[in-house]
Amino acid sequence: MGFEPQIREIVQKRDMPSCREGRMTLMFSATFPKEIQKLAQAFMRSYIWIGVGRVGGAVDTVEQTFMVTSNRGKPEVLTQVLNTNPTDSTLIFVAMKRTAAWLEGHLTRLGYNAAAIHGDMEQREREQSLSTFKSGKSTFLVATDVAARGLDIPKVSHVINYDLPQNIDSYVHRIGRTGRIGNHGWATSFYATGPEEFKEMIGPAGFGIL
């Protein structure tokens, strides 16, 4: 789960004070799945959980749009969406590394200032892509969940789920990249699955999908 190995390494260091020695530990997360609950139980003594807003749901500052398309039709629909707001700083999530690499090349060939970040890239290449996106030299960043995990990417106007995530927690984390600190953001999701499968995935967040 995410950064669990790194968290365990930090907490289990020999020079880390124990709870009995007065250590105070605070954990923050947009969602609170069972994996996080177990982690809290392992490292905290009689922990207190405080929920702010609707836990596991999207913030009100993110306007969400869902578009039905086929897998083959996604590239064309994507360019239509990008052309609507061509100057918006846009983070595009995909499911696989090869999709990220292909989509970056596809957008670049069409004249978009696009960059990518995925697991097949060297660390230097990832940092360069991230730098160009943060500076505004690249307006569009194509990313996989793993590569984008834990990165601080401010001022993202639009999040596009080119491929839907596997679960609602990932969905909430993805679209939480925009609409931060009271700013308004947009999230657009493409889906090619049947309506019932889509409702099953997105329903727990409390979104009204018809």
Query: Tens digits of per-residue pLDDT, 83-100?
Result: 998 888 999 999 999 999
Tell me what pLDDT residue 152 has.
Answer: 78
Tell me what pLDDT residue 206 has.
Answer: 47
CATH of the domain at 156: 3.40.50.300
> With contact defined as beta carbons under 8 Å apart, do 158 and 132 qualify?
no
Query: Tens digits of per-residue pLDDT, 32-63?
Result: 667 777 777 777 777 777 766 555 555 678 88
Rounded to 5°, the CA angle 26-30-31 comes to 95
Counting the structural domains of the chain, the total is 2
Judge if 75 and 138 occupy the same domain: yes
Query: Tens digits of per-residue pLDDT, 5-32?
Result: 777 787 777 777 777 777 777 777 666 6
Report, as an integer, the average pLDDT of 101-127. 95
Judge if 67 and 33 occupy the same domain: no
Please spell the DSSP secondary structure of 57-73, one letter per residue.
S--TTEEEEEEE--TTT
Indicate the range of 55-59, 105-109, 124-128, 155-159 predicted with least confidence: 55-59
Judge if 70 and 139 occupy the same domain: yes
Beta strands 140-144 and 114-117 are parallel
Tokens of 77: 């629909």
Tell me what pLDDT residue 208 has.
Answer: 44
More confident residue, 7 or 107: 107
Judge if 133 and 29 occupy the same domain: no
More confident residue, 25 or 112: 112
> Can you give the residue range of the structural domain that contains 167?
62-202
Judge if 25 and 92 occupy the same domain: no
- Whether 81 has a pLDDT exceeding 50, the answer reads yes
Q: Residue 49: inside a domain, yes or no?
A: no
Report which of 187, 189, 180 is spatially closest to residue 90, judged by C-alpha positions. 187
Tell me what pLDDT residue 40 has.
Answer: 75
HSE at residue 18, side-chain half, CA atoms within 13 A, is 3
Written in H, E and C, the secondary structure of 35-53 is HHHHHHHHHCCCCCCCCCC
- Whether 192 has a pLDDT exceeding 50, the answer reads yes
> With contact defined as beta carbons under 8 Å apart, do 63 and 187 qualify?
yes
Judge if 28 and 92 occupy the same domain: no
Tell me what pLDDT residue 155 has.
Answer: 86
Residue 188: what are its φ and ψ, rounded to 5°? -120, 130
> With contact defined as beta carbons under 8 Å apart, do 30 and 173 qualify?
yes
pLDDT band at 112 (very low <50, low <70, confident <90, very high): very high
